[in-house]
């Protein structure tokens, strides 16, 4: 796979987007010393090459859904086709082929009495499936540091500046119920999380002030959030692995928070089952992964067991399909 040539400005731009997916280009320019036009041009280049997509997403818990991490061991000749079929489903995300291509790992939304719940019931009985386990995601640890591995990043002062102005969930915010009136707004933000307020106003027929107010209500209430999805393979980070950790309950919160601050960890969550934590490690190569596991993880007290599942291929992120290490928008429905 061709590696896109990037530099420090690209990496700082991506870091800023991870911290605040809707951060204005003018603010990134102010922090980095580049012009606003240069920052906007760099973003368009990264987006056109499938390196980054900013999307708006409904929090599944806000709509009464749960998230399950599903591990499927399949026949070697059927794993690829089964993974492709799962990736096409709107209720399935983060689809990867692991363990030499014989295991599929994916995230499945489920709600009582829904079609999604039926998927979890049907999968174990599918003829291609040899073994099947499903663990509920109990809690996601997210420190929103935004940094990634050894890429050039923003300094602590710049990170603090972005964090102070980022639109995030607030514990004191009033509950916001997503209704039919929000359909056009959320659909447009799902397609383009950086859609300007002027375009959102045209799509919804609302005033710009009403659009801004509604987005803030939904985000503050935790019903909606923005994410910068990235194809880090294009940046030279080609070795990924899922980490399954056994941690006693008394240490779960501390270990989860510490892992969330590691640059190599893109995702970490507490889950049900005999493995109490799972995380996704993103590294340059197998030697980098080994150093991370043996040194950083090895220094954390409380980790009793560790299983490493190398990721062979990523097929889908939360809202983007992946092909040859590039992000693609899902087909219009």
Average pLDDT score over residue span 23-46: 97
Q: Give this prediction's pTM.
A: 0.90
**pLDDT tens-place string over residues 306-326:** 999 999 999 999 999 999 889
pLDDT value, residue 30:
96
User: How do the domains of the chain map onto residue ranges?
Assistant: 141-152+231-314
**pLDDT tens-place string over residues 260-290:** 999 899 999 999 999 999 999 999 999 999 9
146 pLDDT band (50/70/90 cuts)?
A: low
CB 250 within 8 A of CB 297: no
pLDDT higher than threshold 90 for residue 251? yes
Reported in sequence order, the residue ranges of 61-183 that DSSP labels E, i.e. its strands, are 66-74, 92-98, 103-110, 129-141
**pLDDT tens-place string over residues 74-89:** 988 999 999 999 999 9
* DSSP for 254-304, written as a single string: HHHHHHHT-TTEEEEEEESSS--EEEEEEESSHHHHHHIIIIIGGG-TT--
Strand partners, 283: 239
**pLDDT tens-place string over residues 224-235:** 999 999 999 988
Distance between CA atoms of residues 120 and 135, nearest Å? 11
118 pLDDT band (50/70/90 cuts)?
A: low
pLDDT value, residue 110:
82
Report, at the CATH architecture level, how domain 141-152+231-314 is classified: 2-Layer Sandwich (3.30)
* DSSP for 7-43, written as a single string: -HHHHHHHHHHHH-TT--HHHHHHHHS--HHHHHHHH
CB 218 within 8 A of CB 224: yes
State the chain's mean pLDDT as an integer. Answer: 91
pLDDT value, residue 246:
97
pLDDT value, residue 143:
65
pLDDT higher than threshold 80 for residue 147? no
């Amino acid at each position: 796979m061709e590696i896109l040539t990037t530099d420090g400005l690209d990496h700082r731009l991506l870091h800023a987007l991870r911290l605040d997916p809707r951060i204005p280009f003018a603010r990134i320019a102010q922090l980095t010393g580049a012009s606003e036009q240069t920052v906007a041009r760099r973003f368009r280049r990264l987006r056109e090459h499938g390196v980054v997509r900013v999307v708006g997403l409904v929090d599944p818990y806000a709509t009464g859904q749960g998230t399950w991490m599903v591990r499927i061991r399949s026949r070697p000749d059927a794993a690829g086709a089964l993974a492709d079929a799962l990736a096409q489903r709107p209720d399935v995300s983060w689809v990867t082929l692991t363990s030499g291509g014989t295991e599929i790992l994916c995230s499945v939304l489920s709600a009582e009495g829904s079609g999604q719940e039926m998927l979890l019931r049907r999968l174990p009985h599918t003829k291609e499936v040899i073994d099947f386990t499903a663990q509920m995601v109990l809690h996601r640890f997210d420190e929103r540091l935004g940094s990634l591995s050894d890429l050039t990043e923003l300094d602590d002062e710049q990170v603090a500046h972005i964090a102070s102005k980022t639109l995030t969930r607030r514990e004191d915010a009033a509950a916001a119920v997503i209704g039919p009136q929000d359909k056009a707004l959320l659909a447009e933000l799902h397609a383009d999380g950086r859609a300007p307020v002027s375009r959102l106003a045209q799509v919804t027929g609302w005033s710009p002030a009403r659009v801004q107010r509604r987005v803030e209500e939904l985000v503050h209430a935790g019903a909606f959030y923005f994410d910068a999805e990235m194809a880090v393979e294009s940046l030279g980070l080609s070795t990924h692995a899922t980490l399954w950790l056994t941690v006693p309950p008394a240490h779960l919160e501390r270990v989860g928070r510490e892992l969330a601050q590691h640059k190599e960890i893109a995702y970490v969550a507490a889950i049900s089952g005999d493995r109490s934590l799972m995380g996704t490690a993103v590294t340059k190569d197998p030697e980098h992964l080994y150093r991370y596991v043996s040194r950083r993880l090895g220094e954390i007290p409380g980790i009793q067991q560790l299983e490493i599942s190398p990721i062979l291929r990523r097929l889908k992120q939360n809202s983007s399909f992946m092909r040859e290490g590039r992000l693609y928008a899902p087909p219009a429905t």
